[in-house]
Amino acid sequence: MKEININGFQETIIERSDYPPERCKDILDHETTAILGYGPQGRGQGLNMRDQGFNIVLGVRPGRSWDKALADGWVAGENLFEMEEAAQKGTILQYLVSDAAQISLWPMVQDSLKDGDALYFSHGFGIVFKDHTSIVPKANVDVILCAPKGSGLTVRTHFLEGRGINSSFAIHKDYTGKARDRCIATAFAIGSGHLFETTFEREVHSDLTGERSVLMGMLQGAFLAQYEVLREHGHSPSEAYNETIEEALESLYPLVSQRGMDWMYANCSTTAQRGALDWAPKFHAAIKPVVEECYQSVIRGDEAKRSIETNSQPDYRDKLEKELEIVRNQEMWQAGQVLRPLRPENQ
């Protein structure tokens, strides 16, 4: 474990060396982990645990997800079952279906939980917004969380590369007295690199804000704004795309990730330095109120309510595809489809 202090804020970081595979297997030796759902997180976490030899079963509804599980080597009747049967077999139930599906499947999951079982989430949504989801676990189970800071695809690819993904963890209810060990052992079993502690509330508030802001929503909005300005002033699609997206994702952002923004500023041209230093405060002043508005909408429950209402509509998938088609058809991303194959590694 590593103690860190950032501006007086003390945190304990738990590293993989603190919970090597042997220790995790000892903790989970008498457990059966039931992965419920085979979306991105269910697939990534489930395959990582299976590959390391943990006692695991997968619960999937018949259809496309079932077929994908078979293609990934899960065996029907051995470690692949329909959702309810898998839930009844598990002592740790990893509830990794979508937020909307968690609501509809909750009565079945609640009935499947036995005294001393653990209910595991990778997102605090269902528990925190219980007034909208009606997900209130019974008193005689542990309720835990491990939230990888990346997509399920990244959880899997990092594992295959011998790396780990940073994750947060939280203990909402410790009925058995062993919830913390169960949670941390499972967190490393799914492929986490290091862990930092949070609460269900903080996880979901930060996660929903991040998705709507710098991780996805703001990113799309900022990219599109710059691309449109350049195009409106006569720059070609190739020039606008490269200056907006290609240089950011392929050159600058990876270096910021590795070394930090101060290093990036110190190692770019003096003209770029001056412009970045002068304009960053303007963007900060313009964007921070929008992020604050987003955060307040999250903690009020407005974002949860909207997500549940829209995602539960029978024609949601059709409406979603139309919205995604609008993004897909934007010239900026059409330019990307043409230009990405021209990267040297794709030649």
Catalytic residues: 123
Sheet containing 33-36: give its strands across. Answer: 2-6, 9-15, 192-197, 165-173, 142-148, 118-121, 92-95, 33-36, 56-59, 80-81
User: Closest Cα to residue 121, out of 163, 83, 171?
Assistant: 171
Taking the C-alpha atoms of residue 168 and residue 14, their distance in angstroms, rounded to an integer, is 10
Q: What is the DSSP letter of 8?
A: T
Contact 311, 318 (CB under 8 A): no
Which residue bears the tokens 């077999």?
A: 89
C-alpha distance across the termini of the chain, in Å: 44
User: Helix or strand or coil: residue 20?
Assistant: coil
Q: Report how far residue 54's alpha carbon sits from residue 91's, in angstroms, rounded to the nearest whole number.
A: 13
Q: Which helix (H) or strand (E) holds 133?
A: helix 130-133
